[in-house]
Amino acid sequence: MTALTERAVRPVLTVEDLSVVYDVANPVTAVKNVSLTLAPGEILGLAGESGCGKTTLAYAINRLHKPPARISSGSVTFSDADGSDIDLLALSDEKLRAFRWSKLSMVFQGAMNALNPVISIAAQLDDVLRTHRPGMSKAERRARGQDVLQRVGVDPKRLNSFPHELSGGMRQRVMIAMALILEPQVMIMDEPTTALDVVVQRDILREIIRLRDELNFAVIFITHDLPLLLEISDRIAIMLRGEIVELNSGEQIYRNPQHPYTQKLLGSFPSLTGDRGDFIRTGDHALTGDNR
Amino acid sequence: MSYFVRKLGFYLVALWAALTLNFLIPRLMPGNPVDVLLAKLQQRGGIVDAATRRSYELLLGGGTDEPIWVQYGNYLVNLAKGDLGIAVSVFPTPVSEVIGQALPWTIALVGIATILSFILGVGLGAIVGWKPGTWLDSLVPATTLLAAVPYFWLALILVLIISSTWQLLPGMGGYDVVLSPGWNTEFILSAIEYGTLPALTIVLSSIGGWLLGMRNMMVSTLSEDYILTAQAKGLRNSRILGGYAARNAALPSIAGFAISLGFVVSGSIITEQVFSYPGIGSKLLQAVQNSDYALMQGIFLVITLAVLGANLLVDLLYGIIDPRTRARS
Amino acid sequence: MTNLTPTTEPSVADADEALAATAREEGRKPRAGWRAMLPSMTPSLVIGFGIVAAIVLFGLLGPLFVQDPTTVRNSGLQPPGDGHLLGTTQTGQDVLAQLAFATRGSLEIGLIVGVLATLLSAFFGVLGAYLGGFADEAFSLFSNVMLVIPGLPLVIVISGFVPQEQRGLWTIAVVLAITGWAASARVLRAQTLSLRNRDYVAASRVAGERSWRVIAVEILPNLLPVIASQFVFAVIFAILSEAGLAFLGLGASNSSTLGTMLFYAQNGFALQLKAWWWFVPPGLIIALLGCGLSLINFSIDEIINPKLRNVRAHAKRMRIARKAAAR
Amino acid sequence: MTSVEVKNLTKEFHIRNGMKRSTLTAVDRVSFDLLPGRTVALVGESGSGKSTIARMLARLEKPTSGSIDVTLDDRTPVHGSVYRRHVQMVFQDPFASLNPFHSIEHHVARPLKIHRRTRGAAETHERVVHMLERVNLSPAEDIAARRPHELSGGQRQRVAIARALAPGAQVLIADEPVSMLDVSIRLGVLNLMARLQREDNLAVLYITHDLATARHFSDEILVLYRGRVVERGPADSVILNPQHDYTKLLAASAPDPERMGKLVRATGAPDRSGIDNSVSFNHYTGEWTSLDKRPVPVS
Amino acid sequence: SASGSGSSGGSGSGSASDTLVAYTGQAGDYQINFNPYSPSTIGGPGEIFEPLFYYNQLQSGDPKPLLGTEFSWNEDGTVLSVTLRDGVKWSDGEDFTADDVAFSLNLLKENPAVNAIGFDGEVAVVDPTHVTITFPAPAFVNGPSILGRTWIVPEHLWKDIDPATDVVAEPVGTGPFVLGEFKAQAFRYDANPTYWDGEPELKHVRYVALSGNQAGADALAAGSIDWQTGPVPDMANVEKNYPGYKAVTVHMNQVALFTCSNAELGCEGPQTDPAVRQALYYAMDRDQINSLAFQDTAAEVSPGFALPERDAALLSDSLPEQTAPMSPDVDKATQILEAAGYAKGSDGIYAKDGVRLAMSVRVVTGWTDYITAVDLLAQQAKAVGIEITALQSSWNEWTEVRGLGEYQLLIDSVTQGPAADPYYMYNEFFSTANTGPVGQSVNPGFARFSDPEVDAALAALRTSNPTDVESRKPHYDIIQQKIAANLPYIPVLTGGTTSEYNAAKFSGWPTEEDLYAVPAVWSRPDSSQVFASLTPTGK
Ligand SMILES: Nc1ncnc2c1ncn2[C@@H]1O[C@H](COP(=O)(O)OP(=O)(O)OP(=O)(O)O)[C@@H](O)[C@H]1O
Ligand SMILES: Nc1ncnc2c1ncn2[C@@H]1O[C@H](COP(=O)(O)OP(=O)(O)OP(=O)(O)O)[C@@H](O)[C@H]1O
Ligand SMILES: [Mg+2]
Ligand SMILES: [Mg+2]
Q: What is the 3-state secondary structure (H, E, C) of E282-343?
A: HHCCHHHHHHHCCCCCCECCCCCCCCCCCCHHHCCCCCCCCCCCCCCCHHHHHHHHHHCCCE
Residue E124: count of CB within 10 angstroms of its CB: 14
User: What is the pLDDT of chain E when averaged over all its residues?
Assistant: 90
pLDDT digits (tens, 9 = 90+) for E203-256: 999 999 888 888 888 889 888 899 999 888 888 889 998 999 999 999 989 999
Contact check, Cβ <8 Å, C72/E231: no
Which ligand neighbours the alpha carbon of D181 most closely?
A: 1
- Using pLDDT thresholds of 50, 70 and 90, give the confidence band for residue C142: confident
How many residues would you count in chain D? 299
Is A78:A55 a contact under the CB 8 Å cutoff?
Answer: no
Task: Reply yes or no on whether the pLDDT at D162 is more than 50.
Answer: yes
Ligand 2 binding pocket, CB closer than 6 Å: D 13, 15, 24, 26, 44, 46-52, 209
Chains that touch C (3 or more CB pairs under 8 A): A, B, D, E
Cβ–Cβ < 8 Å for D91, C202 = yes
Give the residue among B78, B100, B76 at the shortest CA–CA distance from B90: B100
Q: Which amino acid is at D122?
A: A
Cβ pairs bridging A and B (under 8 Å): 82
Residue in B closest to C314 by C-alpha: B133
For residues E55 and B300, which has the higher predicted lDDT (pLDDT)? Answer: E55
Site from B43, B59, B109 to mutate, E interface, most E CB atoms within 10 angstroms:
B59
Choose between B39 and A3: higher pLDDT.
Answer: B39
Minimum distance, in Å, between the CA of residue B280 and any CA atom of chain C: 11
Q: Residue by residue, what is the 3-state secondary structure of B198-220?
A: HHHHHHHHHHHHHHHHHHHHHHH
The single-letter code of the amino acid at E200 is: P
Cα(A180)–Cα(A148) distance, integer angstroms: 7
pLDDT tens per residue, chain A (292 residues)? 444 444 457 889 999 999 999 887 778 888 999 999 999 889 999 988 888 888 899 999 988 888 778 888 999 999 888 888 888 888 888 888 988 998 899 988 776 688 888 888 999 999 999 999 888 899 999 999 998 898 888 888 888 888 888 888 888 889 888 998 988 999 999 888 777 778 888 888 888 888 888 888 999 999 888 888 888 888 999 998 889 999 988 888 888 888 888 888 888 877 777 666 544 554 343 333 333 3
CB-CB contact of D263 with D252 (8 Å): yes
Contact (Cβ atoms closer than 8 angstroms) between residue C129 and residue C136 = yes
CA distances from A87 to A106, B44, B324, D282, E449 (A): 18, 88, 42, 62, 103
Residue E2 has pLDDT above 60, yes or no: no
What number does the ligand 2 atom closest to the CA of D207 have? Answer: 22
Q: With 90 as the cut, is the pLDDT of residue C175 above it?
A: no
C294 → chain B, closest CA residue: B144
pLDDT band at E148 (very low <50, low <70, confident <90, very high): very high
Tell me what pLDDT residue E10 has.
37
**Chain A to chain C Cβ contacts (< 8 Å):** 68
Cβ <8 Å between C148 and B262? yes
In which element (H, E) is residue C50 found? helix C43-65
Instruction: Please report which residue ranges of chain B form alpha helices under DSSP H.
Output: 2-28, 33-43, 50-60, 68-80, 95-106, 112-130, 139-148, 151-158, 185-222, 225-232, 237-239, 247-262, 269-275, 280-289, 293-321, 323-328
The DSSP code sequence of A74-121 is: EEEEEE-TTS-EEEGGG--HHHHHHHBTTTEEEE-TTGGGGS-TTS-H
Give the angle subtended at the CA of E289 by the CAs of E288 and E292, to the nearest 5°: 80
Look at B56-70, C109-123, E8-22, E374-388 and tell me which has the smallest mean pLDDT.
Answer: E8-22
Regarding chains D and A, contact by 3 or more CB pairs under 8 A is answered as yes
Half-sphere exposure of E502 (CA within 13 A, CB side): 26
- Contact status of E365 with chain B (Cβ, < 8 Å): no
Q: Is D279 helix (H, G, I), strand (E, B) or coil?
A: strand
The residues, any chain, with a CB within 8 Å of residue B302's CB and separated by 6 or more, are: B99, B103, B265, B280
> What is the phi-psi region of residue E341: left when phi exceeds 0, alpha when psi lies from -120 to 50, beta otherwise?
left
**Helix H or strand E encompassing D165:** helix D153-165
- Per-residue pLDDT, averaged over E432-458, amounts to 92
For ligand 2, atom 2, the nearest C-alpha belongs to D13
Could you tell me which chains touch chain E, where touching means 3 or more CB pairs under 8 A? B, C
Burial-class residue E294 by CB neighbours within 10 Å (0-12, 13-18, 19+): buried
If one counts every other C-beta atom within 10 angstroms of the C-beta of residue A128, the result is: 24
User: What's the pLDDT score for residue E251?
Assistant: 92
Mind telling me how many Å the CA of A59 is from chain B's nearest CA?
9
pLDDT (tens digit, 9 = 90+) per residue, B79-118? 888 888 888 788 788 889 899 988 888 888 988 899 999 9
| DSSP line for E132-159 | EEE-SS--GGGHHHHHHS-----HHHHT
B320 min Cα distance to partner chain E (Å): 41
B286 to chain C nearest CA, in Å? 11
Cβ burial, residue E369 (10 Å; 0-12/13-18/19+) = buried
| pLDDT of the residue at E63 | 93
The per-residue pLDDT for B273 is 85
| DSSP label at residue B166 | S
pLDDT at residue A289, rounded to an integer:
37
Q: What is the pLDDT of residues D62-95, one digit of tens each?
A: 999 999 999 888 888 888 778 888 899 999 888 7
Span C43-89, pLDDT tens digits? 788 889 999 999 999 999 988 888 888 777 877 788 888 778 888 88
Is any Cβ of chain B less than 8 angstroms from the Cβ of E245?
Answer: no
Asked if E touches B (at least 3 Cβ pairs < 8 angstroms), the answer reads yes
pLDDT of residue E250: 93
Does A196 sit within 8 Å of D212, measured CB to CB? Answer: no
Q: Which of C71, C271, C79, C76 is nearest to E291 (CA)?
A: C76
If one residue of A19, A26, A52 were mutated to test the ligand 1 pocket, choosing by the most ligand atoms within 8 A of its CB, it would be: A52
Compute the CA torsion angle B210, B214, B216, B217 (nearest 10 deg). Answer: 140
Ligand 1 centroid to A54 CA: how many Å? Answer: 8
Which residues between 210 and 249 in chain C have a beta carbon less than 8 angstroms from any beta carbon of chain B? Answer: 236, 240, 243-244, 247-248
Contacts of C236 (CB under 8 A, 6+ apart): B148, C110, C289, C290, C293, C294
Alpha-carbon span E524 to E517, nearest angstrom: 10
- Rounded CA-CA distance C171/C252 in Å is 8
Short-list E130, E61, E121, E139, CA closest to E98: E130
- Burial annotation A25-35 (CB, 10 A radius, 16+ → b, else e): eeebbbbbebe
Is D110 in contact with C204 (Cβ distance < 8 A)?
yes
Q: Which candidate from C148, C151, C286 shows the least CB-CB separation from B308?
A: C148
CB burial of residue D14 (10 Å; 0-12, 13-18, 19+): exposed
- The HSE-up count of residue A178 (CA atoms within 13 Å, CB side) is 34
Question: In angstroms, rounded to a whole number, what is the distance separating the alpha carbons of residues A251 and A268?
Answer: 18
Nearest to E132, CA basis, from E62, E75, E86, E73: E73
